[in-house]
């Protein structure tokens, strides 16, 4: 008995010590590991950032049509970065992160490593394939598929992983507060980081070839921050010493950052269309320079040498790769049926989308019950990453519409797991996010959702665009990534929206629950679901629970 008590006491103190050790971590102990991870993944990105451009040039020259002549593929040289010393440092640094983060990052970094190693291997195979033969028939098809993977698929998978890793590192960083605004590192670093985030929004608009009025306020903010940094330099950096260092003192990096930020803004405003670089990629070259200088400033912020103020341990930012757009004429099979109202036909844009195996919802041998039974559970199904696109216009107030869906959600949440999360986007006159990535099991979240009322008109376009923005940010290939539109709407949608849904359907499926009380199916909604490789389901009292279960049970 005494031995058992002694063992229990030892185990208790061991567990207490482990928890205490984790709690004892500080920003000073965690942020070096965070920034080493960012340095490692940035190194892989930076060394290959332009390669998609060369793959795109080869694609346009040799692969748009079959050729009677040879098209030798000149492989890229990966020897510069393949040693991956810094990336190895990044993988070793994960053990210094708190909680269960080391296991999570180990998997993410392994996935990124595997992706990077596969690129030179594919380069080698293409060099051999294209060496002595004309690009015709089966060879043309095989080479085209492989180049497309290098040009589109790999960069997008890389982007998704990079953004996921950075988002998680930012979450860790936020748990350990920075010094207050009296610290010059923080004063300056916060403004720099804000300018980078606004620059990213500008790049996102340029990528979609949106007009200047869409990104004007973000670009104006970049200009404003550059002006504030320049005019307030001495005040912002007050307390930091200058010292000889071949340009590596904080003042030199600060000035360099302002110059690069100004170049970025000018490149956006004064761009002249050329065959060589798109508007987006011209700005991207300057954006990566901005990030590079900011990251050097971050390194200095962790050094207390010869400084009167304490270090701030700021967080670095990530580089971005070149973006390639390939245009192809749309086939008839890609079009909505004649009954769908749409704008004039336009060329389809094949943009950077990850080609992942489609997530298949369960096809039960017998229909799912329209109620929650004791033996019904979620065991064996993918974790859910659902975005509810919820129509809260006035017409959804009827008992058989929004209230009916609330009842279904309340019932189904009782069998969900902690790893099942959902985001809610509301749309009526405009679109807004109610909450992001909250567990289905949270009673507080469910209460918030059940308290919703509906009013206003329907603006589905804004809602769909917001849903895809959030879906891309939170995409995880291991989960059931799905947008579920809840509506009674009978509205006309522009042709571009169908193509948006289609271009994402390998990553995120789009389903529609139709609560409209009409005879027959709604063609617009049915085609949205068809293009999204999801389900179109007219909802009634007879299937409101079983339909939702079907969407959440993906293998």
Instruction: Identify whether the C-beta of residue 58 lies closer than 8 Å to the C-beta of residue 147.
Output: yes
pLDDT tens digits, 79-102: 554 445 778 888 899 999 999 899
Q: What is the pLDDT of residue 65?
A: 77
Q: In what order do the strands lie in the sheet with 509-514?
A: 431-439, 421-427, 384-391, 480-487, 509-514, 533-538
Q: What is the mean pLDDT of residues 361-370?
A: 60
Lowest-confidence pick of 324-338, 380-394, 476-490: 324-338
Lowest-confidence pick of 149-158, 361-370, 401-410, 418-427: 361-370
Choose from 7-16, 47-56, 215-224, 486-495 the range with maximum mean pLDDT: 215-224
Q: What's the whole-model pTM score?
A: 0.59
Burial class (CB in 10 A: 0-12, 13-18, 19+), 508: buried
Beta strands (DSSP E) in 392-453 are 421-427, 431-439
pLDDT at 209 over 60: yes
Return d(Cα 296, Cα 188) in angstroms, integer. 13
Lowest-confidence pick of 133-142, 215-224, 449-458: 449-458
pLDDT at 426 over 60: yes
Mean pLDDT of the chain: 82
pLDDT at 55 over 60: yes
Residue partners of 228: CB distance under 8 A and separation at least 6: 191
Percent of the chain having pLDDT more than 70? 83
Q: Residue 314 is encoded by which pair of tokens? A: 């700021």
In the chain, what are the domain boundaries? 26-178, 180-312, 356-552
Q: What is the pLDDT of residue 244?
A: 55
Q: Can you spell out the DSSP letters for 338-351? A: TTS------PEEE-
pLDDT at 307 over 70: no
The number of residues making up the chain comes to: 555
Q: Can you spell out the DSSP letters for 151-177? A: IIIHHHHHHHHHHHHHHHHHHHHHTSP
The second-level CATH assignment, the architecture, of 356-552 is 3-Layer(aba) Sandwich (3.40)
Q: What is the pLDDT of residue 533?
A: 92
Give the residue with greater pLDDT, 75 vs 500.
Answer: 500
Distances in Å between the alpha carbon of 548 and those of 54, 251, 510, 540? 45, 57, 13, 12
Q: Residue 74 is encoded by which pair of tokens? A: 């000149």
pLDDT at 153 over 80: yes
* Cβ neighbour number for residue 367 with a 10 Å cutoff: 9
């Amino acid at each position: 008995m005494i031995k058992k008590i002694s063992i229990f006491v030892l185990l208790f103190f061991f567990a207490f010590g482990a928890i205490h050790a984790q709690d004892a971590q500080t920003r000073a102990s965690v942020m070096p590991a965070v920034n080493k991870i960012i340095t490692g993944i940035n190194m892989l990105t930076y060394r290959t950032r332009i390669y998609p451009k060369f793959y795109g040039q080869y694609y346009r020259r040799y692969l748009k049509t079959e050729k009677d002549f040879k098209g030798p593929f000149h492989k890229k040289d990966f020897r510069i970065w393949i040693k991956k010393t810094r990336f190895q440092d990044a993988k070793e640094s994960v053990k210094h992160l708190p909680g269960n983060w080391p296991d999570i990052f180990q998997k993410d970094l392994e996935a990124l490593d595997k992706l990077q190693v596969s690129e030179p291997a594919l380069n080698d195979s293409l060099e051999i394939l294209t060496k002595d033969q004309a690009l015709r028939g089966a060879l043309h098809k095989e080479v085209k598929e492989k180049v497309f993977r290098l040009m589109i698929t790999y960069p997008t998978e890389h982007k998704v992983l990079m953004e996921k890793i950075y988002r998680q590192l930012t979450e860790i960083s936020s748990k350990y507060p920075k010094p207050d605004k009296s610290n010059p590192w923080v004063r300056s670093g916060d403004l720099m980081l804000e300018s980078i985030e606004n620059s990213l929004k500008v790049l996102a608009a340029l990528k979609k070839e949106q007009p200047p009025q869409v990104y004007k306020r973000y670009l104006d903010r970049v200009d404003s921050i550059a002006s504030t940094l320049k005019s307030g330099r001495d005040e912002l950096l007050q307390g930091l010493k200058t010292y000889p260092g071949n340009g590596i003192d904080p003042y030199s990096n600060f000035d360099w950052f302002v110059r690069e930020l100004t170049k970025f803004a000018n490149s956006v405003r004064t761009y002249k269309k050329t065959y060589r670089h798109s508007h987006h990629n011209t700005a991207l070259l300057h954006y990566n320079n901005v990030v590079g200088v900011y990251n050097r400033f971050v390194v200095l912020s962790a050094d207390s040498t010869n400084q009167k103020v304490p270090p701030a341990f700021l967080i670095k930012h990530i580089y971005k790769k070149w973006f390639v757009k390939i245009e192809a004429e749309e086939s008839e099979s890609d079009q909505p049926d004649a009954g769908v109202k749409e704008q004039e036909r336009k060329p389809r844009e094949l943009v950077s989308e990850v080609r992942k195996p489609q997530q298949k919802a369960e096809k039960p041998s017998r229909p799912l019950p329209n109620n929650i039974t004791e033996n019904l559970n979620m065991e064996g199904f993918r974790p859910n990453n659902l975005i509810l696109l919820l129509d809260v216009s006035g017409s959804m107030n009827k008992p058989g519409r929004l209230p009916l869906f609330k009842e279904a959600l309340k019932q189904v949440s009782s069998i969900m797991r902690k790893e099942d999360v959902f985001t809610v986007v509301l749309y009526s006159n405009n679109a807004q996010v109610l909450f992001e990535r909250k567990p289905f099991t949270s009673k507080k979240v469910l209460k918030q959702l059940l308290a919703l009322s509906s009013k206003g008109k329907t603006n589905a376009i804004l809602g769909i665009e917001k849903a895809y923005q959030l879906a891309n940010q939170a995409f995880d290939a291991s989960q059931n990534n799905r947008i579920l539109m809840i509506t009674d709407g009978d509205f006309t949608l522009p042709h571009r929206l169908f193509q948006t849904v289609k271009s994402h359907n390998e990553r995120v499926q789009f389903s529609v629950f139709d609560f409209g009380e009409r005879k027959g199916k709604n063609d617009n909604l049915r085609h949205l679901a068809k293009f999204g490789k999801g389900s179109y389901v007219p909802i009634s009292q007879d299937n409101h629970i079983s339909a939702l279960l079907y969407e959440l049970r993906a293998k």
